[in-house]
Amino acid sequence: MPLPGERLQRIAFVTTRYAELQGLKLVILGAGVLANVVAWGLLSEALNPFQLMNMQAGLWIYIGTLWADRYYARWFGSVPLVPAPRFALFYAVSNDAAHRSVPVGKPDTVGAWAVFIALLIDSFKGLIYPGGVSLAAVAVTGYSVWVLVEDGVYRPHYLLGLAAGVAGISLTWAVPFGFRLPGPLPTAVAMPYVQIFGILAVALVVVGLLDHRLLVTAMAPGAASAGRRYSAPDRGISRFRLVGAAGSLTVIVHYIAFAGWPRNGEFVYSALMLGWMALLIGAQLLDLRRMRAEQRGAPVKVETDELPAGVRCRRSMWSGT
Amino acid sequence: MPLPSHLRIAVRDWPVRRYYLLGTLAASVSSIHFMFVPEQRVVDWAVWFLILIPAAMLIEGILDARLARSNGERLIGETHAAAW
| CB pair distance less than 8 Å for A233 and B76 | no
pLDDT at position A104, please? 44
Burial A73-93 (b: 16+ CB within 10 A, else e): bbbbbebeeeebeeeeeebee
Q: Does B79 touch chain A (CB under 8 A)?
A: yes
Task: Give A60's DSSP letter.
Answer: I
Best residue of A238, A269, A272 to probe chain B, by most B CBs closer than 10 Å: A238
Q: Does B64 touch chain A (CB under 8 A)?
A: yes
**Closest by Cα among A120, A109, A117 to A147:** A109
Q: Does B32 touch chain A (CB under 8 A)?
A: no
**Residues contacting residue A212 through CB under 8 Å, at least 6 positions apart:** A21, A22, A23, A24, A27
Residues of chain A with C-beta less than 8 angstroms from the C-beta of B55: 245, 249
- pLDDT above 50: residue A315: no
Please tell me the distance from the alpha carbon of residue A26 to that of residue A211, in angstroms, as a whole number.
9
Best residue of B6, B12, B74, B80 to probe chain A, by most A CBs closer than 10 Å: B80
**Residues contacting residue A187 through CB under 8 Å, at least 6 positions apart:** A45, A46
Burial A158-179 (b: 16+ CB within 10 A, else e): bebbbebbebbbebbeebeeee
| CB pair distance less than 8 Å for B50 and A268 | yes
Cis? peptide before B15, omega within 30° of 0: yes
ipTM of the predicted structure?
A: 0.80
Q: Does B11 touch chain A (CB under 8 A)?
A: no
Asked whether the CA dihedral A152, A158, A159, A161 is positive or negative, the reply is negative
CA-nearest residue of chain B to A220?
Answer: B82
Question: Residue B82: how many CB atoms within 10 A of its CB?
Answer: 22
Report the residue from B17, B43, B57 with minimal CB separation from A245.
Answer: B57
- pLDDT above 80: residue A8: no
pLDDT at position B76, please? 45
Best residue of B50, B66, B69 to probe chain A, by most A CBs closer than 10 Å: B50
Q: Does B84 touch chain A (CB under 8 A)?
A: yes
- pLDDT above 50: residue A311: no
**Residues contacting residue A172 through CB under 8 Å, at least 6 positions apart:** A132, A133, A134, A137, A192, A193, A196
pLDDT at position B83, please? 44
For residue range A225-275, list pLDDT tens digits in order: 544 455 667 777 777 788 888 988 999 999 999 888 888 887 888 888 888
Q: Does B41 touch chain A (CB under 8 A)?
A: no
Query: Which pTM value belongs to this model?
Result: 0.68
> Of the given ranges (A104-113, A122-131, A228-237), which has the lowest mean pLDDT?
A104-113
Question: Residue A147: how many CB atoms within 10 A of its CB?
Answer: 23
Please tell me the distance from the alpha carbon of residue A133 to that of residue A193, in angstroms, as a whole number.
9
Task: Give A187's DSSP letter.
Answer: H
| CB pair distance less than 8 Å for A219 and B46 | no
For residue range A30-86, list pLDDT tens digits in order: 888 888 888 777 776 667 777 777 766 666 676 777 778 878 887 887 776 555 555
Q: Please provide the DSSP assignment of B2-65 as one string.
A: HHHHHHHHHHHTTTTTGGGHHHHHHHHHHHHHHHH--GGGHHHHHHHHHHHHHHHHHHHHHHHH
Please tell me the distance from the alpha carbon of residue A183 to that of residue A44, in angstroms, as a whole number.
13
What average pLDDT does chain A have?
Answer: 75
